[in-house]
Structures are given as C-alpha cells and as structure tokens.
Amino acid sequence: MAAPKDGHLTGAWTAPETLSHEELVAASDDMLGRPDIAFSENEHIFRIKTLGLDWDMGVMVYRPV
C-alpha cells in the first residue's frame, strides 16, 4: 500500500475497501518516518462586492521550494 520509494507511480491507484488496524498503523508510521519537505506558503485575501454584500475570500498556496 505504501508509495514507491523512488517516487515514481505507475498505473492507477484505487483505495482498498478495508484496512486492518495494523495496516493503518504501518501506513501512518511510514508516512511520519519520511523526511520533511521544505515549502513556501503565501496567503491571498481579496474582497468581492456582489449581491449588495462584501465577501472576503482567503486562500493559502503551498509550494515546494
């Protein structure tokens, strides 16, 4: 179930119908054991005036660096 270590995916992935507790813990341990990836984050806030109301919209953009 874990992703290939080389990072290359082949074929289509489908979610398993069920996971045992042990499989879930193993997948979690695998993910948490991976090194952190450096990333940048930018926040964008803008206002839309429509229908007689002001709508404040905010989004976060995360990118690997």
Q: Which domain holds residue 61?
A: 38-65
Say whether pTM exceeds 0.75: no
- Strand ranges, E, within 12-52: 39-50
- Examine residue 9 and state whether it is found in any structural domain, yes or no: no
Q: Would you say residue 1 has pLDDT above 70? A: no
Looking at the structure of the chain, the number of domains it has is 1
- Examine residue 51 and state whether it is found in any structural domain, yes or no: yes
- Examine residue 21 and state whether it is found in any structural domain, yes or no: no
Residue range 5-57, pLDDT digits in tens = 666 777 888 888 999 999 999 999 999 999 999 999 999 999 999 999 999 99
**What letter would DSSP give residue 4?**
P
**Is the C-alpha dihedral spanning 15, 19, 21, 25 positive or negative?**
negative
pLDDT at 15: 87
Q: Residue 13: CB partners within 8 Å, gap ≥ 6? A: none
**What letter would DSSP give residue 34?**
S
